[in-house]
Structure 1
Amino acid sequence: MCCSVGFARSLGLALVPLALCSVLANLLLLFPMGDVAYVQQDRLAQYVWYFGGLGGGGVLMLVPAVVFSTLGKCGCCWNESLMMCGSVLAAVVGLLGSSYSFVVSGFALVQGPQCFTVMGWTYPFDDQNARYVLEPETWSQCLQPVNIVEWNVTLLSVLLGLSVLEFIICLCQLGNGLVNAVCRPCCYKQEYSLNA
């Protein structure tokens, strides 16, 4: 067969752990060092509240994960072309979700964390265009939460990496689905000639 339903299913199965890791990383951003006090006091960075990993890279990514992994198993699907069309639409949803996660995580990384410094609660790295990431000696400006810069940089970098992987997987399925839709007539001719 021209199309690879098995390939799409494996992509769907690969998306599930990525989406779950994205949700986990976003939830950890809400609780620096496991402390709930900063959520209650609204002392988290602005972009953390956009839920890029939870919404875009997590929940929204479950749509293509479920569609890809159940491709061909659903009794309600009339034919393979319709199934692949559905997988293309799900891939577009996944591309949007992973892009949202990437953009929000990128902006959050550029802005840096909100933390308590000698000047009070502020964004000490907001005007540095993310240069602080490569200058760990400046991280000690943040007095509270303890190790907040390391916490944010690590988790946001993880979210950036996960969103790139999710984007690549959804792009692969988009290509797989489109190629299958284009070559479907030739597949039928080949299958017919083999069975004749």
Structure 2
Amino acid sequence: MVRYPSGSLVILTGLPGAGKTTLLQRLYGLHGAESTPVASGAVMVIDSSQSRRHWDGRLPWAPYPLRRAVVFITHLTRIRRALAGGQSVIAHNRGCGPYVLRGFAWLARRHGAAFHLLLLDAPADLAIAGQRARGRVVAPRTFARHERRWAGLVARVKNGDPAPAAGALIVDRAEAALLESIVFDGSGGNLTNGNFRITE
């Protein structure tokens, strides 16, 4: 079990294909065809794939960079709306660059929410295998960029610097498989059962 204060924004991030969507599906009973966020009690589960499905087939004329931007803006809008409504949010986002994370931190502060990172750390070869299994493979140059940013973020967190998040938790695939729940219960910090590494 992992605990966060009620009303927090938790961003689940990792390399493309690391297993983020699979983890959310298992923990929250998602079936993988959702095109809108899913409420689980007081928690809003927001996967970027939901926004992608929402726009599937709607912008056939648009170049890929524009479609990607529209999907990301939709994803951010859904997160903002949930935070504005006072909901706890667990959201999947594959991007972990500094500007993206600062944007999430700003969004959380704007709505009086704590911002936490949950990092799913999978080796590159397993992440690539995960991409192939799902039928969507990231271009090598794009994946290499994700790898560089990911390595930098993980190194900073392991050195005790989760900024711009209030806290960051790293789990590998084996540890993620043991995770039974993510709880938002008003406690003062991010607590674990001891099996996971945590920086606060």
Taking structure 2 as the reference length, the TM-score comes to 0.24
Q: Which has the larger radius of gyration?
A: 1
Q: TM-score, normalised by structure 1?
A: 0.25
Of Structure 1 and Structure 2, which has the larger fraction of its residues in strand? Answer: 2
